[in-house]
Chains A and B, each alone.
Chain A
C-alpha cells in the first residue's frame, strides 16, 4: 500500500518521503509492542504442571515458581486463622503433594475439588504457595449433579 510520493523539501519534511516515514513509524511501534509482549512473557511465564509432571521434572519446582494443579485431597485442609496460614494436600490419585499457603483462601475453596497453587517446592517436599486458585468444575455443570431422590433433593451433592 506504500505509495511512493516525490519527496518534497518542507521545513518538517527531511529526506525521507512522508509515507515511508509513517510506515517506518508504524513498524517501530509494532516492533516495540512485540518487544513488550516478548519481554513481559519471558519474565513472567510459569510452568503449569500436574502432580505427575512436577514429579517427572525433578527439582525444577524447587528452583523456580510454578503453578501446580490437582484435586484437593479430602480431610487434609487445616486453616490457622491466627497466623493466616492454610495447609492442605493435592492429589491426582497416585501422588500427594502437601501445600502450605500463607494467606487467605478463596471463599470457594471449601467446596472446590480442583485447586491450583502457585509457588515453589521446598527441600522438605512441601509446596510453599504464594497464590491459591480454587475451581469448582462441578458447580455450574448440571450433568455432574447427583440428585438423590426427590425427598432428599434440596440437599444435593456434586460429584467431581
Chain B
C-alpha cells in the first residue's frame, strides 16, 4: 500500500513537470492536441494526489505503524476521528494535504473554465456552458494550468525527496533512522504502538481549523495563477478578475472561518482566557487575510472603473506570497511559536521557493506596467475609489505592521546582530489605530456612491446614523465605560452598524414605495437583487459586532486567583464562586482527569454550576486545562483550575471575566452567513450570464 502511495507521488511529480511544459508550449505554439493533453494532466495529477492521500488516510485509520507518519502522530488508543486529523499534525502530512487541495481546486477550475473549443475531448461529460466561457477566461487557461503545475512541481518534489509522507523507520546498529528508501545496512523497524497525538490537538475545532485554513490558503493560489496567466499572455482585460471573483471570496471565507475556529480553540483549550495572542503562526494566517480583504475590495474598483490595475496585480502577488510565507512559518519552525514544527530541512527549500515565486511574479508585473494603465484618474476625493484606495492602504499597512513584528527577531538579528522581539503590546498598539480608521472607512463608504457624492449630501446622509451612534456611545458611557480609547472604538463600531443598517432600510423602503411590496418582501428582494453589495454590507455589520466584542474583552477583562479549600468562596466582579466538590484523578480515555464543581452565584442567588478540569496525559507527559465557561451576551465567566496543593487539600482557581466576548463569536457567525449571501449568484448576475450566453449563441450561428 505504502509503495502505491510513494509511486503516486513520483508519477505526480513527472505529470506536474510534463503538464507545465505541455501547457506552456501548447499555448505558445497553439497546438490544440498538446493543450488537451495538458488539461488532462491536471486531472491525472489530481487523481494521483488523491490516491496518495487515500493511502495515508487508510494507513492512519488502520494504524499501520510501518509508516513513520502514522507511528509518529497516532496511537492505538487514539479516537478514530483524530487518527484522520493526525494527517495535518505533522510536516509531511500537511504538505501532502496542501498539494492535494490545490490539485482538487485546479481540477475544478479546469473543469469549469476550459472552453469546449479548446478541448475537443470531452472529459467526464463536463461541458462548460457558453455563459461562463463568455467571460473570456478560456484564453487564459493554458497559462493558468502552467502556473498551477509549476507550483505543484515544487510540492511534488518536496514530497518525493525532502519530506516524504511515506517514509519508514529503520534500525541500524541500535539507532533508528527515518527514511523513504532503506539506508545501507538497516532493517525495517515497526513500533508496537505509536507515540500518540498531542492532546491539545484532540479537540473538535482542531479537526476543522487546519483544513479550513488550508482551504483558504491554497484557494488564493487560483487568483494568483489567473493573474500570472494574464501577465504572461498579455490578456490583461477584466477576464482574469471576473473569472476569479468567487475564487477569491471562497478562500477568504474559509480563511475567516479558520481564524475564528482557531481563536475559539485557543479560548476553549489553552485555558488562558484569551483567543488571540499574536503568535507568529496566528499572524501567518492573519496577514494573507488582510491582504486578501484589500484585494476583495479593490477588484470592485477595477471592474467598475478600470482603475487600480497594477495595484490589483500587486495585491494578488502579495497575498499569495504571504500565503506561502505563512505555510513556511508554520512548517519550518524558523520563528519561535507554540504551533511551529521543529526547525527542519524544508526551510531553505521553502525560502528559495517563496523568493523565486515573488521575484518572478514581480518581474512579470514590471514588464507589463505599460499595458496596465488606468483607464481614468480618480476624479474626486469624495468618491468610492478614493475611499477604497484608503481602505487598501490601511489593510496593507496593517498587514505590513503585523509582518514586521513577526519577522522582527530575524531582521534584528541579521541587521543588529542582536535578537529583538516584540510581543502583544506592539501588535495591539500598532493595529488599534489602523483598525479604527478601517471602521471609520467602513461607516462612510456605503454612503458614497460609485459616482461620488457632494460634501453637503454626505453630511446630510451622515447626520442621522452619527447621531444614533453617539446616543449608543452615550449609553455605553452611562454603563461605566469611561476611558476615551475604548469609548472611541465603540463609537466607531456603532457608527458602522447604524450607517449600514440605515442604508439597507432606506433601500428597502425606496423599493417598497416603487414596487408596492410589503417592506420585508422589499428588503428580501433588495438583497436578492444585489447580493454582493448587501452581503458586503452585512459583513460590515458583523465585523463591527466583532469589534465591539474585541474591544470589550481586550480592554475590560479582569481576573482573580485564589487557593480554596472545600466550601470556601472567592469573588470576581459581582460573581461569588464557591468550591463545592472535587473528583480527583478520574481515568477518562488516555487521560487522568481531575474536575471540580464550583457554584456560581450573583447577588446571593445561585445561577450556575461550573466544572473546570485538568487532565494529565501520561503517554505524552502533558497537562491539559479545560476551562468551564458561563457565557452571556454581556460577559463570559471563564474558570480554570490552576493547580492544587497538599494532596488536593486546597485547589487553586483562576477566574476571568471577559466582557462582551460573546459578540466576537456571534459576529463571526454572522460574518460567515453574510459572506455566503455575498458569494451566492444573484438575480442580476444570472441575468447577465443569460444575456451573455444568448449573445454567444447568436455569434456562433
Contacts and interface: CB of A to CB of B under 8 A. Distances in A.
Nearest to A36: B430
Interface residues of B, number: 80
B425 interface: yes
Contacts of A155: 619
A81 B434 contact: no
B362 interface: no
Given A37-B401, A67-B421, A153-B191, A104 B642 contact: yes
Contacts of B91: 140
B393 A138 contact: no
Contacts of B270: 107
Contacts of B483: none
B580 interface: no
Given A36-B433, A44-B429, A49 B381 contact: no
B589 interface: no
B342 A137 contact: yes
Contact of B426 (A12, A45, A67, A156): A45
Contact of A12 (B454, B643, B654): B454
A73 interface: no
Contact of B623 (A19, A21, A110): A110
Nearest to A37: B401
Contacts of A48: 409, 419-421
A144 B563 CA distance: 39
B342 A144 contact: yes
Interface in A1-19: 1, 3, 5, 11-12, 18-19
B420 A45 contact: yes
B624 A107 contact: yes
A3 to B, nearest CB: 5
A143 B345 CA distance: 11
Nearest to A158: B195
Interface stretch (B202-210, B442-450, B533-541, B644-652): B644-652
Instruction: Name which of B189, B190, B430 has the most chain A CB atoms within 10 A of its CB.
Output: B430
Interface stretch (B222-230, B237-245, B382-390): B382-390
Given A29-B394, A145-B72, A46 B421 contact: yes
Interface in A52-95: 67, 69, 79-84
A28 B397 CA distance: 13
The residue in A79, A140, A155 that gathers the most chain B C-beta atoms within 10 A of its C-beta is A140
Contact of A29 (B381, B390, B619): B390
B129 interface: no
B179 to A, nearest CB: 10
Contact of B190 (A79, A116, A150): A150
A12 B195 contact: no
A40 B563 contact: no
**Range of interface residues on chain A?**
35 or more
Contacts of B620: 111
Contacts of A156: 195
B381 A22 contact: yes
B643 A154 contact: no
A29 B397 contact: yes
Nearest to A79: B643
Given A48-B421, A118-B423, A33 B198 contact: no
Interface in B650-687: 650-652, 654
Nearest to A137: B342
Given A83-B563, A84-B642, A111-B621, A150 B393 contact: no
Contacts of B194: 154
Given A145-B72, A154-B191, A82 B650 contact: yes
A44 B198 contact: no
B195 A81 contact: no
B556 interface: no
Contacts of A135: 336, 338
A82 to B, nearest CB: 4
B592 interface: no
A119 to B, nearest CB: 12
Contact of A33 (B393, B454, B645): B393
A107 B614 CA distance: 10
Nearest to B393: A29
A135 B454 CA distance: 57
A96 B454 CA distance: 69
Contacts of A36: 401, 429-430, 433-434
B643 A110 contact: no
A150 B645 contact: no
B378 A18 contact: yes
A30 interface: yes
A140 B643 contact: no
A44 B423 contact: yes
A154 B430 contact: no
Contact of A81 (B409, B625, B642): B642
Interface of B: 68, 72, 75, 89-91, 169, 176, 178, 189-195, 198, 200, 270-272, 333, 336, 338, 341-344, 374, 377-382, 386, 389-390, 393-394, 397, 400-401, 404-405, 408-409, 412, 418-423, 425-426, 429-430, 433-434, 454-455, 561, 563, 619-625, 640, 642-645, 650-652, 654
Given A36-B430, A40-B401, 12 more contacts: A12-B454, A18-B380, A29-B393, A37-B401, A40-B425, A41-B422, A45-B420, A48-B420, A81-B644, A107-B625, A140-B89, A147-B176
Q: Which 7 A-B pairs have the closest CB atoms?
A: A81-B643, A141-B342, A154-B193, A153-B191, A48-B419, A33-B397, A44-B426
Interface of A: 1, 3, 5, 11-12, 18-19, 21-22, 25-26, 29-30, 33, 36-37, 40-41, 43-49, 67, 69, 79-84, 104, 106-108, 110-111, 116, 118, 131, 133, 135, 137-147, 150-151, 153-156
